Protein backbone atom coordinates (compact mmCIF):
# COMPACT_ATOMS: atom_id res chain seq x y z
CA UNK A 1 0.00 0.00 0.00
CA UNK A 2 1.06 3.61 -0.49
CA UNK A 3 1.88 5.78 2.50
CA UNK A 4 3.71 8.99 3.30
CA UNK A 5 6.65 8.07 5.54
CA UNK A 6 8.42 10.51 7.86
CA UNK A 7 11.98 9.27 7.29
CA UNK A 8 13.59 11.45 9.99
CA UNK A 9 12.93 14.64 11.96
CA UNK A 10 13.26 17.81 9.92
CA UNK A 11 11.62 19.93 7.23
CA UNK A 12 8.74 18.78 5.04
CA UNK A 13 11.35 17.33 2.68
CA UNK A 14 11.77 14.32 5.01
CA UNK A 15 8.26 13.12 4.04
CA UNK A 16 8.43 10.51 1.28
CA UNK A 17 5.78 8.61 -0.67
CA UNK A 18 6.61 4.91 -0.25
CA UNK A 19 5.19 1.45 -0.87
CA UNK A 20 4.93 -0.19 2.54
CA UNK A 21 3.58 -3.53 3.77
CA UNK A 22 -0.19 -3.84 3.86
CA UNK A 23 -1.49 -3.50 7.43
CA UNK A 24 -3.25 -6.59 8.77
CA UNK A 25 -6.00 -6.34 11.40
CA UNK A 26 -5.55 -8.18 14.70
CA UNK A 27 -8.46 -10.17 16.15
CA UNK A 28 -10.03 -7.05 17.73
CA UNK A 29 -9.21 -4.63 14.89
CA UNK A 30 -10.74 -3.40 11.66
CA UNK A 31 -8.85 -2.40 8.54
CA UNK A 32 -10.07 0.86 7.05
CA UNK A 33 -9.61 1.92 3.45
CA UNK A 34 -8.82 5.57 4.08
CA UNK A 35 -10.75 8.06 1.95
CA UNK A 36 -9.66 11.26 3.71
CA UNK A 37 -7.27 12.40 6.41
CA UNK A 38 -5.74 15.73 7.47
CA UNK A 39 -2.49 17.51 8.23
CA UNK A 40 -2.71 19.03 11.71
CA UNK A 41 -0.42 21.19 13.82
CA UNK A 42 0.34 18.00 15.77
CA UNK A 43 1.72 16.34 12.62
CA UNK A 44 3.93 19.37 12.09
CA UNK A 45 5.25 19.27 15.66
CA UNK A 46 6.16 15.59 15.40
CA UNK A 47 7.77 15.84 11.97
CA UNK A 48 9.79 18.96 12.85
CA UNK A 49 10.21 17.82 16.48
CA UNK A 50 9.17 21.16 17.91
CA UNK A 51 9.58 20.55 21.64
CA UNK A 52 10.78 22.79 24.52
CA UNK A 53 14.32 22.03 25.67
CA UNK A 54 13.14 20.62 29.01
CA UNK A 55 10.91 18.12 27.17
CA UNK A 56 13.44 17.18 24.50
CA UNK A 57 14.67 13.91 26.03
CA UNK A 58 11.31 12.59 27.33
CA UNK A 59 9.58 13.44 24.04
CA UNK A 60 12.29 11.73 22.01
CA UNK A 61 11.88 8.65 24.20
CA UNK A 62 8.14 8.67 23.46
CA UNK A 63 8.25 9.53 19.76
CA UNK A 64 11.54 7.93 18.72
CA UNK A 65 15.17 8.91 19.18
CA UNK A 66 16.42 9.54 15.64
CA UNK A 67 13.13 9.41 13.73
CA UNK A 68 9.45 8.90 14.56
CA UNK A 69 8.74 5.42 15.89
CA UNK A 70 5.40 5.70 14.07
CA UNK A 71 6.68 6.97 10.70
CA UNK A 72 3.24 7.24 9.06
CA UNK A 73 1.69 10.35 10.61
CA UNK A 74 -1.96 11.47 10.54
CA UNK A 75 -4.24 11.55 13.59
CA UNK A 76 -7.73 11.72 12.06
CA UNK A 77 -9.32 9.86 9.17
CA UNK A 78 -12.53 8.74 7.53
CA UNK A 79 -13.04 5.73 5.31
CA UNK A 80 -14.69 2.35 4.81
CA UNK A 81 -14.16 -0.83 6.85
CA UNK A 82 -12.57 -3.27 4.44
CA UNK A 83 -11.70 -6.18 6.76
CA UNK A 84 -12.46 -7.18 10.35
CA UNK A 85 -10.71 -9.36 12.92
CA UNK A 86 -12.49 -12.49 14.16
CA UNK A 87 -13.46 -10.93 17.53
CA UNK A 88 -14.89 -7.68 16.16
CA UNK A 89 -18.55 -7.12 17.07
CA UNK A 90 -19.23 -3.38 16.58
CA UNK A 91 -18.35 -3.01 12.91
CA UNK A 92 -18.77 -4.94 9.68
CA UNK A 93 -17.23 -4.78 6.22
CA UNK A 94 -18.72 -1.85 4.31
CA UNK A 95 -19.30 0.43 7.31
CA UNK A 96 -18.31 4.07 6.74
CA UNK A 97 -16.43 5.33 9.81
CA UNK A 98 -14.49 8.31 11.10
CA UNK A 99 -11.80 8.05 13.75
CA UNK A 100 -9.05 9.66 15.79
CA UNK A 101 -5.88 7.58 15.80
CA UNK A 102 -4.05 9.65 18.43
CA UNK A 103 -0.47 8.60 19.17
CA UNK A 104 -0.98 5.52 17.00
CA UNK A 105 -0.97 7.90 13.99
CA UNK A 106 -1.25 6.06 10.63
CA UNK A 107 -3.77 8.23 8.81
CA UNK A 108 -1.43 9.23 5.96
CA UNK A 109 -1.77 5.90 4.15
CA UNK A 110 -4.17 4.02 1.91
CA UNK A 111 -5.16 1.71 4.79
CA UNK A 112 -5.12 1.86 8.59
CA UNK A 113 -5.91 -0.66 11.33
CA UNK A 114 -7.69 0.38 14.51
CA UNK A 115 -9.16 -1.46 17.48
CA UNK A 116 -12.95 -1.60 17.41
CA UNK A 117 -12.83 0.07 20.85
CA UNK A 118 -10.69 2.98 19.71
CA UNK A 119 -11.98 6.51 19.16
CA UNK A 120 -14.04 5.52 16.14
CA UNK A 121 -17.70 5.90 15.19
CA UNK A 122 -19.98 5.41 12.19
CA UNK A 123 -19.54 8.44 9.91
CA UNK A 124 -22.27 11.11 10.03
CA UNK A 125 -24.95 10.55 7.40
CA UNK A 126 -24.98 12.90 4.40
CA UNK A 127 -21.55 14.29 5.39
CA UNK A 128 -18.54 13.74 3.11
CA UNK A 129 -15.48 11.75 4.11
CA UNK A 130 -13.43 14.96 3.90
CA UNK A 131 -15.77 16.85 6.26
CA UNK A 132 -16.02 13.89 8.64
CA UNK A 133 -12.26 13.42 8.90
CA UNK A 134 -11.54 17.10 9.41
CA UNK A 135 -13.94 17.81 12.30
CA UNK A 136 -12.60 15.37 14.88
CA UNK A 137 -9.39 16.95 16.19
CA UNK A 138 -10.86 20.44 16.38
CA UNK A 139 -14.25 19.29 17.61
CA UNK A 140 -13.00 17.07 20.43
CA UNK A 141 -10.41 19.63 21.53
CA UNK A 142 -13.07 22.36 21.66
CA UNK A 143 -15.45 20.11 23.61
CA UNK A 144 -12.74 19.38 26.18
CA UNK A 145 -11.61 22.97 26.78
CA UNK A 146 -15.08 24.52 26.73
CA UNK A 147 -16.04 21.90 29.31
CA UNK A 148 -12.91 22.68 31.32
CA UNK A 149 -14.00 26.33 31.31
CA UNK A 150 -17.44 25.23 32.55
CA UNK A 151 -19.33 26.90 29.71
CA UNK A 152 -22.93 27.77 30.60
CA UNK A 153 -25.98 28.96 28.70
CA UNK A 154 -26.22 32.75 28.59
CA UNK A 155 -22.53 33.37 29.23
CA UNK A 156 -20.40 35.76 27.20
CA UNK A 157 -17.63 33.69 25.64
CA UNK A 158 -14.61 34.85 23.64
CA UNK A 159 -12.79 32.48 21.27
CA UNK A 160 -9.26 33.69 20.45
CA UNK A 161 -8.08 32.15 17.18
CA UNK A 162 -11.64 31.63 15.97
CA UNK A 163 -10.67 30.80 12.38
CA UNK A 164 -8.42 27.80 13.08
CA UNK A 165 -9.20 24.10 13.32
CA UNK A 166 -10.11 24.27 17.02
CA UNK A 167 -11.52 27.81 16.90
CA UNK A 168 -14.06 27.17 14.13
CA UNK A 169 -15.43 24.21 16.07
CA UNK A 170 -15.38 26.15 19.36
CA UNK A 171 -17.44 29.03 17.92
CA UNK A 172 -20.14 26.63 16.74
CA UNK A 173 -20.15 24.57 19.93
CA UNK A 174 -20.29 27.64 22.18
CA UNK A 175 -23.33 28.85 20.23
CA UNK A 176 -24.92 25.42 20.52
CA UNK A 177 -24.41 25.55 24.29
CA UNK A 178 -26.30 28.86 24.35
CA UNK A 179 -23.46 31.35 24.81
CA UNK A 180 -23.07 34.84 23.33
CA UNK A 181 -19.92 34.37 21.26
CA UNK A 182 -17.18 36.81 20.27
CA UNK A 183 -14.57 35.50 17.84
CA UNK A 184 -11.08 36.97 17.45
CA UNK A 185 -9.36 36.46 14.09
CA UNK A 186 -7.76 38.38 11.23
CA UNK A 187 -9.77 40.65 8.97
CA UNK A 188 -9.65 38.15 6.10
CA UNK A 189 -11.64 35.64 8.16
CA UNK A 190 -14.26 37.91 9.75
CA UNK A 191 -17.13 36.91 7.48
CA UNK A 192 -16.32 33.20 7.73
CA UNK A 193 -16.34 33.32 11.54
CA UNK A 194 -19.63 35.27 11.50
CA UNK A 195 -21.11 32.57 9.24
CA UNK A 196 -20.33 30.01 11.95
CA UNK A 197 -22.61 31.85 14.36
CA UNK A 198 -20.36 34.35 16.14
CA UNK A 199 -22.40 37.27 17.49
CA UNK A 200 -19.42 39.60 17.25
CA UNK A 201 -16.01 39.37 15.58
CA UNK A 202 -12.85 41.28 16.47
CA UNK A 203 -10.04 41.80 13.96
CA UNK A 204 -6.92 41.38 16.10
CA UNK A 205 -4.82 43.29 13.54
CA UNK A 206 -6.88 46.45 14.20
CA UNK A 207 -8.34 46.06 17.70
CA UNK A 208 -7.21 44.71 21.05
CA UNK A 209 -10.15 42.90 22.64
CA UNK A 210 -8.44 43.03 26.04
CA UNK A 211 -8.38 46.85 26.10
CA UNK A 212 -12.04 47.30 25.16
CA UNK A 213 -14.75 47.80 27.74
CA UNK A 214 -16.07 44.25 27.29
CA UNK A 215 -15.92 41.45 29.84
CA UNK A 216 -16.32 37.73 29.30
CA UNK A 217 -17.33 34.82 31.51
CA UNK A 218 -15.04 32.51 29.54
CA UNK A 219 -12.05 33.21 27.31
CA UNK A 220 -10.77 30.25 25.29
CA UNK A 221 -7.42 30.70 23.57
CA UNK A 222 -7.75 28.11 20.80
CA UNK A 223 -4.26 28.70 19.35
CA UNK A 224 -2.09 29.13 22.44
CA UNK A 225 -1.03 32.69 21.64
CA UNK A 226 -2.91 34.81 24.19
CA UNK A 227 -1.60 34.76 27.77
CA UNK A 228 -3.74 34.69 30.90
CA UNK A 229 -2.18 37.95 32.09
CA UNK A 230 -3.31 39.67 28.91
CA UNK A 231 -6.85 38.30 29.27
CA UNK A 232 -7.20 39.00 33.00
CA UNK A 233 -8.76 42.46 32.67
CA UNK A 234 -11.28 41.22 30.11
CA UNK A 235 -12.69 38.52 32.41
CA UNK A 236 -15.73 38.99 34.63
CA UNK A 237 -15.19 38.37 38.38
CA UNK A 238 -14.87 34.62 38.67
CA UNK A 239 -14.52 34.24 34.90
CA UNK A 240 -12.51 31.37 33.38
CA UNK A 241 -9.50 31.38 31.06
CA UNK A 242 -8.48 28.20 29.22
CA UNK A 243 -5.83 27.67 26.55
CA UNK A 244 -4.58 24.85 24.37
CA UNK A 245 -1.01 25.90 25.23
CA UNK A 246 0.59 24.03 28.12
CA UNK A 247 -2.62 22.66 29.65
CA UNK A 248 -2.11 19.08 28.58
CA UNK A 249 -3.59 17.02 25.79
CA UNK A 250 -7.35 17.19 25.44
CA UNK A 251 -8.95 14.09 26.92
CA UNK A 252 -11.31 12.58 24.36
CA UNK A 253 -14.19 10.31 25.34
CA UNK A 254 -15.97 7.90 22.96
CA UNK A 255 -19.23 9.80 23.52
CA UNK A 256 -17.56 12.95 22.15
CA UNK A 257 -17.46 11.35 18.68
CA UNK A 258 -21.10 10.34 18.94
CA UNK A 259 -21.98 13.91 20.01
CA UNK A 260 -20.09 15.34 17.02
CA UNK A 261 -21.81 12.86 14.68
CA UNK A 262 -25.25 13.89 15.96
CA UNK A 263 -24.50 17.62 15.73
CA UNK A 264 -23.26 17.27 12.14
CA UNK A 265 -26.34 15.27 11.13
CA UNK A 266 -28.55 17.95 12.71
CA UNK A 267 -26.72 20.75 10.88
CA UNK A 268 -25.45 22.28 14.13
CA UNK A 269 -21.76 21.65 13.41
CA UNK A 270 -19.82 21.76 10.18
CA UNK A 271 -16.24 21.36 9.15
CA UNK A 272 -14.33 24.30 7.68
CA UNK A 273 -11.87 23.13 5.01
CA UNK A 274 -9.20 25.52 3.79
CA UNK A 275 -7.38 23.42 1.20
CA UNK A 276 -7.39 19.86 -0.10
CA UNK A 277 -4.34 17.96 -1.36
CA UNK A 278 -3.84 14.44 -2.77
CA UNK A 279 -1.80 11.96 -0.69
CA UNK A 280 1.39 12.47 -2.69
CA UNK A 281 1.33 16.22 -1.98
CA UNK A 282 1.39 15.90 1.81
CA UNK A 283 4.82 17.60 1.98
CA UNK A 284 3.26 20.68 0.33
CA UNK A 285 0.34 20.49 2.77
CA UNK A 286 2.85 20.49 5.65
CA UNK A 287 4.52 23.60 4.26
CA UNK A 288 1.19 25.38 4.04
CA UNK A 289 0.04 24.43 7.56
CA UNK A 290 3.45 25.43 8.93
CA UNK A 291 2.86 29.02 7.81
CA UNK A 292 0.19 29.29 10.51
CA UNK A 293 -2.51 31.04 8.48
CA UNK A 294 -4.88 28.22 7.57
CA UNK A 295 -8.64 28.56 7.98
CA UNK A 296 -10.10 25.48 9.61
CA UNK A 297 -8.52 22.25 8.37
CA UNK A 298 -6.22 21.08 5.58
CA UNK A 299 -7.56 17.83 4.14
CA UNK A 300 -5.80 15.00 2.32
CA UNK A 301 -7.82 12.98 -0.21
CA UNK A 302 -6.45 9.45 -0.15
CA UNK A 303 -8.91 7.52 -2.31
Measured distance CA(153)–CA(171) in Å, rounded? 14
Q: Which fold has domain 137-243?
A: Rossmann fold (3.40.50)
pLDDT tens track for 36-85: 999 998 899 899 886 665 566 676 777 777 789 999 999 999 999 999 99
Closest CA to 72 of 98, 118, 34, 115: 34
Indicate if 137-243 has the same CATH topology as 2-134+271-301.
no
Architecture of domain 2-134+271-301: Alpha-Beta Complex (3.90)
Among 106-115, 187-196, 204-213, 240-249, the range scoring the smallest mean pLDDT is 240-249
pLDDT digits (tens, 9 = 90+) for 161-184: 999 999 999 999 999 999 999 999
Q: 196 falls in which pLDDT band (50, 70, 90)?
A: very high
First to last CA, the chain: 12
0.95 surpassed by pTM: no
The arithmetic mean of pLDDT across residues 268-296, rounded, is 96
Domains of the chain, residue spans: 2-134+271-301, 137-243
Residue 303 has a pLDDT of 83
Amino acid sequence: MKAIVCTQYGSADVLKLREVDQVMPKDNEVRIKVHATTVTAGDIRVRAFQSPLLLWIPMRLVLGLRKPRKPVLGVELAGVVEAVGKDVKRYKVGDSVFALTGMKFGGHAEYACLSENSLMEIKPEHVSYEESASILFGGTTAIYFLGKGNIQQGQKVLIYGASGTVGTAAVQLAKYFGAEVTGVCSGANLEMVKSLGADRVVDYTKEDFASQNEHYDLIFDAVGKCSKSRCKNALTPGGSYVTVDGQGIAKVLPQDLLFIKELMEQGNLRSVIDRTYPLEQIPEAHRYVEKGHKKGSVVIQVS
